[in-house]
A and B are shown apart, each in its own frame.
Chain A
């Protein structure tokens, strides 16, 4: 009983993330299948409660690059999403919404469980590759006059596929899964995905951040082992600061595995009590 509760506690964010991911997906599916008006469309662009437009800012950017004038709905929608992640949520899209996250997390889990993961067996790819792909996608969108990444995105193919019918789209999803399983740990989400790259670049100022308390840290390095973007945890055991890199996806796995309460979610820019007293 106690152990059971401990397991739940140790996976509280993971469970919450899966619930959020799946229920958003189900709401979209119901939007198409039953005409529910809670979430209509898909992650590229949608309408919340039949009023509020939402849109993928990266997809919108590609449409702009393709050279077209867009209607206000999609621009407003893109700005809303952009503002939410860049000012509040951080790169939470990747870990709380994106359906590919479930695929790659599963690949990662299998990789570690089966002992497939050995550092020296990995194909090493620079984590900067995603920024190259991001830049390239915008240039190509301009050159071929069509949103370049939207034509090959496994994220859209999976999400659209689940709502509207998959076709051969599953092949792209299997490709991502196998790549993450056999080739590189966190290969797609942490190295290649330009949407992740886009959010990494723009979510630096966000308020919700993981906070590290170096005084409590016992240097067990559980957090670094579990983190899909290790480089953001440079401060572990060194400095008590917020994880400020835009590459952090706010998945909270580090918080869960920490046995010393040295990592927690916090709000940046919160007025400091001491400062207030001094003032």
Chain B
């Protein structure tokens, strides 16, 4: 009898301990997950070339920094001491721009993940893309920055889509009529990603506007234009593509592009609702007595 009671007490103790553990785990878990859910998200962070979409990137990046090391130690690093480079690994509390309020700076880059700030150091678009192949997890995917050449897959930095440059027409001095083509000349894909558009300047009546226009389908988001911009806070700057670009929806099809038109193939067409009235033609309906009387 006494033995039974002892066992019971042991059982009870175990039971209570487990429940205590569960309670603590629930409390700690909610705080912990709340923090991580908040900390894994930065709206304006720019990732290295070949990065998979941000949601997936946070899942895949193991925070080893090998891309950062490759960027820093590449041969053509303009900083010959190799102490700074485009890519950096986010440290906790790493949200201090060199000049406050002078350019877009990410607030809370998920700790330990690579990013860059174009106004400080842009991506120089190395042709051999040293930062992508070292990635062990596929967070930087070589396939996203490769193209097929002579049946062979080769790295192609022009396919990178780190972000997209956006022009603020109000503060771009070229739109005022002043002569400035700093961004246009800085662009590694000059006349493809940024083109100059000529327009008459009605204010003077005798001069031309030379307006920089970004072509988002070509722009890699390297940020050389943002660095080159002469205004105090850059009037051309790189934003993550998901922030800067819209989306038309699948039902728009470019009838003038063969590839896009392929998408209609196999489509059932629009499903019509058939009612007794559908048998009559629309004209009949419009000419009914009821409508004429009104």
Residue A26 interfacial (CB < 8 Å): no
Residue B40 interfacial (CB < 8 Å): yes
Residue A46 interfacial (CB < 8 Å): yes
Q: Are A172 and B92 in contact (CB under 8 A)?
A: yes
CB-CB contacts of A114-136 with B at 8 A, as 1s and 0s? 00000000000000100011011
CB-CB contacts of B80-113 with A at 8 A, as 1s and 0s? 0011000011111110000000000000001110
Give the complex CA separation of A152 and B28 in angstroms: 13
The segment from A159-167, A183-191, A202-210, A232-240 found at the interface with B is: A159-167
- Tally chain A residues at the interface, Cβ within 8 Å: 56
Residue A243 interfacial (CB < 8 Å): no
Q: Which residue of B lies closest to A32 (CB)?
A: B69
Give the complex CA separation of A157 and B66 in angstroms: 16
Find B65's partner among A74, A164, A168 (CB 8 Å cutoff).
Answer: A164
Q: Are A47 and B92 in contact (CB under 8 A)?
A: no
Interfacial chain A residues near B60, Cβ < 8 Å: 63, 68, 70
Interfacial chain B residues near A35, Cβ < 8 Å: 69, 72-73, 82
In chain B, residues 40-86, which have Cβ atoms closer than 8 Å to a Cβ of chain A? 40, 55-56, 58-60, 62-66, 68-69, 72-73, 82-83
Q: Are B91 and A59 in contact (CB under 8 A)?
A: no
Residue A66 interfacial (CB < 8 Å): yes
Q: Are B37 and A167 in contact (CB under 8 A)?
A: no
Interfacial chain A residues near B72, Cβ < 8 Å: 32, 35
- Tally chain B residues at the interface, Cβ within 8 Å: 43
Give the complex CA separation of A70 and B60 in angstroms: 7
Find B64's partner among A44, A136, A167, A171 (CB 8 Å cutoff).
Answer: A44
Q: Are B93 and A168 in contact (CB under 8 A)?
A: yes
Give the complex CA separation of A59 and B112 in angstroms: 13
Find A164's partner among B62, B82, B88 (CB 8 Å cutoff).
Answer: B88
Q: Are B62 and A73 in contact (CB under 8 A)?
A: no
Find B28's partner among A44, A136, A161 (CB 8 Å cutoff).
Answer: A136
Give the complex CA separation of A67 and B40 in angstroms: 15
Q: Are B25 and A132 in contact (CB under 8 A)?
A: yes
Q: Are B69 and A41 in contact (CB under 8 A)?
A: yes
In chain B, residues 131-156, which have Cβ atoms closer than 8 Å to a Cβ of chain A? 134-138
Q: Are A45 and B59 in contact (CB under 8 A)?
A: no
- A71-B65 contact given A145-B55, A167-B92, CB 8 Å threshold: no
Nearest Cβ in chain A — how far from B164, in angstroms?
25
Q: Are A71 and B89 in contact (CB under 8 A)?
A: no
Q: Are B64 and A45 in contact (CB under 8 A)?
A: yes
Q: Are B33 and A68 in contact (CB under 8 A)?
A: no
Give the complex CA separation of A45 and B114 in angstroms: 14
Give the complex CA separation of A166 and B91 in angstroms: 6
CB-CB contacts of A131-173 with B at 8 A, as 1s and 0s? 0110110011001111110111000110011011111110110
Interfacial chain A residues near B93, Cβ < 8 Å: 167-168
Q: Are A46 and B91 in contact (CB under 8 A)?
A: no
Find A74's partner among B35, B58, B68, B136 (CB 8 Å cutoff).
Answer: B136
Q: Which residue of B lies closest to A76 (CB)?
A: B136
CB-CB contacts of B120-139 with A at 8 A, as 1s and 0s? 00000000000000111110
Residue with the highest number of chain A CB atoms closer than 10 Å, among B63, B72, B83: B63
Residue B15 interfacial (CB < 8 Å): no
Nearest Cβ in chain B — how far from A75, in angstroms?
9
Nearest Cβ in chain B — how far from A238, in angstroms?
24
Residue B245 interfacial (CB < 8 Å): no
Nearest Cβ in chain B — how far from A139, in angstroms?
7
Find B91's partner among A32, A70, A147, A165 (CB 8 Å cutoff).
Answer: A165
Q: Are A150 and B63 in contact (CB under 8 A)?
A: yes
CB-CB contacts of A53-81 with B at 8 A, as 1s and 0s? 10110011001001111110110010000
- A70-B137 contact given A44-B64, A146-B59, A164-B65, CB 8 Å threshold: yes
Q: Which residue of A lies closest to B93 (CB)?
A: A168
Give the complex CA separation of A160 and B114 in angstroms: 12
Q: Given contact pairs A32-B72, A146-B59, A146-B110, enumerate 4 new A-B contacts (beta carbons under 8 Å).
A: A45-B136, A145-B59, A151-B35, A171-B92
Interface pairs (18), CB distance under 8 Å: A42-B63, A45-B137, A63-B137, A66-B58, A67-B59, A74-B138, A132-B21, A133-B28, A145-B55, A150-B63, A156-B112, A160-B63, A161-B91, A164-B91, A167-B91, A167-B93, A169-B91, A172-B92
| 5 residue pairs, one from A and one from B, having the closest CB atoms | A167-B91, A35-B73, A168-B93, A71-B138, A45-B64
